[in-house]
Structure 1
Amino acid sequence: MRLRTVLATLTAGLAAATSLTAAGPADANSASSKACSPSVSIDRFSDALDKTTYDGTFVGNFSALAVDGDGSLAALEDRSSLFDLDPRTLQPRRAVHLADEKGADLDSEGLVMDGDGTRLITSETEPSVRRYSADGRILDRLPVPSSLLVAPAGRATANQTFEGLTLLPGGHTLLASMEDAISGDSAGIVRFQTWRRHKDHFRLGAQYAYRTDTGLGVPEVQATPDGRLLVLERGFTPGVGNTVRLYLADPRHATDTSGIENLTGQPDVRLIKKTLLTDIATCPSLGATAKQPQPNPLLDNIEGMTITGRDHTGRLKVLLVSDDNQNPAQTTRFYYLRVRV
């Protein structure tokens, strides 16, 4: 979702991306000075792509990141373009335009680079999940439960639907996260929908419920190698700035809510358990500057996330990106984290 300032498969990818690093000199600061929390540290950030263009296309509005099987970095913008970025310099090498079946642009939000070279991409408009070829041709469209469709077709609110998308280890289960609650569910209870792979197609699978912190939504979710999830929660307060928190969540013992119409007053429903890893506001600013008020000048409208590998201690290397909404008061910024789970 585009938060405006006015209101404001994994295994293959991890193996191929272990060497994915950012360009630039090594930071001389000690590891302790880069700690955001006992579980998370930040190595560096990059504003290299802020307010730039590539082959006539604006570079920004990023809503998702993914690592391909060959180690290359893909960045999805929510205005219907998919960029191939150099994994070291972040410089664009290719841009592919995406469209729906009628040729219209997508509100493209979630991204998975599948092991067969196809791209799974969500659009927040309906919402939808489509499979695309590397050159942008539609290959398939996945079924979506009627309750998750935008009203009046369903019970979802416009621009509050499929934001996150991830493929669980093994490549057999796809998971999409709604950004906010649907009508009839308690405030802050967000549905996570899964699909199971069947030959060349995905069929609807189990659904789970996740509770966000008050006032926050879910812009991104990424599977860890052991089947848990990294979940971003985000919000914006005019005059104050962004709140962005990173959680570790475990859906493996949660109730399948696909057959439960309303998640209000349901004491027997087991929600996805979550553990706070860090609030990004607690990270050292590393000299970052902000174009609008922020609790920490490092912060912006962080919306995309991918796991790029592991370091020598076993920590996950996690790359975040902010969506600048093509707005002069916001910044396209990449964040390089190390996360112990």
Structure 2
Amino acid sequence: MRPKTVRAALAACLAAAACLTAAAPAPAGTTRTPTDRACSPSVSLAGFSDVLDKTSYEGTYVGNLSALARDRDGALLALSDRSSLFRLDARTYRPKGAVALADESGAALDSEGLAVDRDGSRFVTSETEPSVRHYAPDGRLLGLLPVPASLRVAPAGRATANGTFEGLTLLPDGRTLLASMEYALDGDAPGLVRLQTWRRHGSTFRLGPQYAYRAEDGLGVPEITATPDGRLLVLERGFTPDVGNTIRLALADLRHATDTSGVEHLTEGGPVRPARKTPLADLADCPSLGATAEQPQPNPLLDNIEGMAVTGAGHGGHRAGLDVLLVSDDNENAVQTTRLYRLEVRTGGRPGR
């Protein structure tokens, strides 16, 4: 989904590459990190980069980025909602390949979510219908996954336009694919977002359980990604005119959550148990690192953040911390920015039963 947001631009770019962390060099154009990088007790900002902003690769605009994923060879994949899938160098973030995606009729997608299967093929959501399609690395369409009727855009279903499948992730077991709706269905309580799963059966994926996740009031879910222990990092986003973006990060645990696939309407205080949620950070509380904004933002660092991927374990191992990369969707708009954000996220041990 592409809400109107404002641009948060860098105050200055360093002439030479700086360090995102003490262990690795940063891409050119990345700001230096101050001593105090904490956004919350669980999240720190390691750095950010505008190296992709308003750039093109072999004639294709590198923007409108709505999802990130790690490829099998370690490269980064960045999905544009204008139906292009870019391969990025994991160190410099510079594009080194691009593939055009299309539906069964050859038409472009409103592509929003991305997951890489264990064989290197890609799953991509489009929020138009919505749909989940399966592609070969070269962009050949391999198949289309089933979608429950209720999740389709009205009048075919109960979803609102631009409020369907935004996030997509493959759980660490490699057997469960999960997509997140951005907003609640018509008839469900506001903020109760449905998470749909598919389970692997041989070479195909079939519909699996469905769960509920409680987003904060007025916020939607533009992205979701699995952690190594099987929990979910959830990105929540909103926009308020003359105020700017709200971007929050939470951790969700599906254990003990109710299967909502047979529940017609989700209500507050009803019998359905949503995913267990642990708030991690409001990114407005991150250090701005010298960023400026041309229009109001709670923090000039913020923009229309839509994509997220776990890129590695932190220095203390996966239980102590994760390296997480975010990207903002500039909507190909002069007053917005394509910005990459490097976070260190501490999720702690898995909650007890």
Between the two proteins, the alignment pairs up a number of residues equal to 327
Shift of 1:296: 0.3
Letter paired with 1:122: T
Shift of 1:289: 1.8
Task: Using structure 2 for the length normalisation, give the TM-score.
Answer: 0.90
Q: Secondary structure at the match of 1:70?
A: coil
2:34 alignment partner, one of 13, 29, 32: 29
Q: Secondary structure at the match of 2:291?
A: coil
Q: Find the aligned partners of 1:309 and 1:340 in 2 and give their Cα distance.
A: 12
User: Which residue number in structure 2 is paired with residue 337 of structure 1?
Assistant: 343
1:136 aligned to 2:139? yes
User: Which residue number in structure 1 is paired with residue 226 of structure 2?
Assistant: 223
Q: Secondary structure at the match of 1:147?
A: helix
Asked whether the equivalents of residues 22 and 87 of structure 1 are also in contact (C-alpha less than 8 Å), the reply is no
User: Which residue number in structure 2 is paired with residue 47 of structure 1?
Assistant: 50
Q: Find the aligned partners of 1:82 and 1:265 in 2 and give their Cα distance.
A: 38
The aligned runs of 1:190-205 (5 Å cut-off) are: 190-205=193-208
Shift of 1:310: 0.9
Q: Find the aligned partners of 1:266 and 1:155 in 2 and give their Cα distance.
A: 21
Asked whether the equivalents of residues 5 and 245 of structure 2 are also in contact (C-alpha less than 8 Å), the reply is no
User: Which residue number in structure 2 is paired with residue 172 of structure 1?
Assistant: 175
Q: Find the aligned partners of 1:310 and 1:293 in 2 and give their Cα distance.
A: 34
Distance 1:28 1:54, change over 3 A: closer
Shift of 1:68: 0.9
Shift of 1:118: 0.5
Asked whether the equivalents of residues 5 and 304 of structure 2 are also in contact (C-alpha less than 8 Å), the reply is no
Shift of 1:26: 8.8
User: Which residue number in structure 2 is paired with residue 111 of structure 1?
Assistant: 114
Asked whether the equivalents of residues 21 and 87 of structure 1 are also in contact (C-alpha less than 8 Å), the reply is no
Q: Find the aligned partners of 1:208 and 1:21 in 2 and give their Cα distance.
A: 40
Shift of 1:65: 0.1
Letter paired with 1:331: T
Give CA deviations for 1:153-199 in whole Å, capped at 9, x if unaligned.
11100100000000111100000000001111011110000000111
Instruction: Pick which of 318-327 and 306-315 moved more.
Output: 306-315
User: Which residue number in structure 2 is paired with residue 16 of structure 1?
Assistant: none
Q: Find the aligned partners of 1:60 and 1:183 in 2 and give their Cα distance.
A: 31
1:93 alignment partner, one of 83, 93, 96: 96
User: Where does structure 1 differ by over 3 angstroms across 4 or more consecutive aligned residues?
Assistant: 19-22, 24-28
1:259 aligned to 2:265? no
Q: Secondary structure at the match of 1:289?
A: strand
Q: Find the aligned partners of 2:122 and 2:183 in 1 and give their Cα distance.
A: 24
1:153 alignment partner, one of 147, 152, 156: 156
Asked whether the equivalents of residues 84 and 101 of structure 2 are also in contact (C-alpha less than 8 Å), the reply is yes
Q: Find the aligned partners of 2:326 and 2:90 in 1 and give their Cα distance.
A: 13
Asked whether the equivalents of residues 20 and 308 of structure 1 are also in contact (C-alpha less than 8 Å), the reply is no
Give CA deviations for 1:122-149 in whole Å, capped at 9, x if unaligned.
0000000000011111101000000000
Distance 1:26 1:109, change over 3 A: closer
Shift of 1:252: 1.2
Distance 1:311 1:282, change over 3 A: same
Asked whether the equivalents of residues 217 and 233 of structure 1 are also in contact (C-alpha less than 8 Å), the reply is yes
Letter paired with 1:246: L
Distance 1:59 1:26, change over 3 A: closer
Identity of matched residues, % = 69
Q: Find the aligned partners of 1:85 and 1:92 in 2 and give their Cα distance.
A: 4
Superposed CA RMSD: 1.5
Q: Find the aligned partners of 1:95 and 1:4 in 2 and give their Cα distance.
A: 26
1:121 alignment partner, one of 120, 124, 127: 124
Q: Secondary structure at the match of 1:269?
A: coil
